[in-house]
Amino acid sequence: MQQPADDATPQHRYTAELAGRIERRWQELWSERGTFNAPNPVGDLVGELPADKLFVQDMFPYPSGSGLHVGHPLGYIATDVFARYHRMHGHNVLHTLGYDAFGLPAEQYAVQTGTHPRTTTESNIENMKRQLRRLGLGHDERRSLATTDVDFYHWTQWIFLQIFNAWYDIDLKRARPIAELEAEFESGARTAPDGRSWTALDASERRTVIDSYRLVYRSDSMVNWCPGLGTVLANEEVTADGRSDRGNFPVFRKHLQQWMMRITAYSDRLVDDLEFLDWPDKVKAMQRNWIGRSHGAQVRFGVDPAVDDVAIEVFTTRPDTLFGATYVTLAPSTSWSTGWPRARTPTTSTPAGPAARPPRPRPSPPTAPPSPRRRTWSGRRTRRRPASSSASMR
């Protein structure tokens, strides 16, 4: 005979197992209905478009591990709440996620596991997608991508070429095709920096002049070189001990040819456009400090009167105070001109080694042990008093 249930025990207990079944059921239903899919005005993803649009973008995770960690949903849940709020208010919200698959994290993971990077990367991406679905985030999975997709980096390479073949016109305050700059030089509307005409320059000199205007250019600069990883590292990727954050390899400061972007040409626009962003004031202040716009003058100090091209360039916001300057300090990263003494090559395993103060020479040990002193006990103890001095500490 079945005993009656205790009145204190609920008939339907909401357990973790029940919550899991409910979540999976609704997540499958969202996927079948395309609840979070954002329609396009044209193309394969065309659909009914609400009047207001919103694009929500998270930082792409690195598929350099077998799965997500607790720090990933910390940010993803916040953006998911933000996207759902606007979607429920009738916005056409595009919220998707990609995977930053290139770079040191993926390479080092492949080295540690002894597997080809593409194999480990694609496997990790599939597992991360499964974990993201389990979190119930409102992503449009049709638009998911990885930076290793050919269809993706085809366009990043295309963008690089567009920037490379452009220059910044300070008069119009915008970028223009490099072909228009060449036409200005050929027509005589613009002269070379040294004052010579375009016809007086040979092909190599013309190429040097044109390259000095490009938005993307090569320059010899001081970088963090890691031989163990075979690449240049950002300052954030170098530990306080002068080693790589990935792999713990020694890192050295040295001059190398690097690709640069002339982003400083847009510093004024970057700062001014912050006013149109709906960001917290403290975030805008951080951006202004990072851009670091300042007004001043670039001053050249001659070093040797017999050599005109050897000079020290100094930027100052107060050129009127230069008459009272007594010396100029050069940064360790200063590029040395031809003929100047080269910096000493580091011979230690860390950058801190060459900068460390050399140890003081130790005195040589005596050839013979000193003879012990003989003292006679007088039966009294005396205390030495410090000698008085009239000199003041300065």
Locate the domains of the chain by residue range: 17-147, 154-291
- Mean predicted lDDT score pLDDT of the chain: 82
pLDDT tens digits for range 43-86: 777 767 777 889 999 999 988 878 899 999 999 999 999 999 99
Q: What is the pLDDT of residue 139?
A: 94
**What's domain 17-147's architecture?**
3-Layer(aba) Sandwich (3.40)
CB-based contacts of 154, cutoff 8 Å, min separation 6:
none
Q: Given this model, what pLDDT does residue 26 score? A: 93
Domains 17-147 and 154-291 share a fold: no
Which tens digits make up the pLDDT trace of 212-251? 999 999 988 889 999 998 889 988 899 999 999 888 999 9
The Cα 23–Cα 26 span in angstroms is: 5
Prediction pTM value: 0.69
Q: Rounded to an integer, what distance in angstroms lies between the CA atom of residue 355 and that of residue 231?
A: 23
Largest CA distance in the chain: 114
Task: State the architecture of 154-291 in CATH terms.
Answer: Beta Complex (2.170)
DSSP summary character for residue 342 = P
User: Which pLDDT score is estimated for 363?
Assistant: 58
pLDDT tens-digit series, residues 94-117:
999 999 998 887 888 888 888 898
% the chain with pLDDT above 70: 79
- Listed in sequence order, the residues at least 6 apart from 186 whose beta carbon sits closer than 8 Å to its beta carbon are 198
Statement: residue 21 has pLDDT above 50 = yes
Half-sphere exposure of 175 (CA within 13 A, CB side): 18
Q: How many CB atoms lie within 10 A of CB 233?
A: 19
Residue listed under structure tokens 């200005």: 184
pLDDT digits (tens, 9 = 90+) for 258-284: 899 998 889 888 999 999 998 899 999
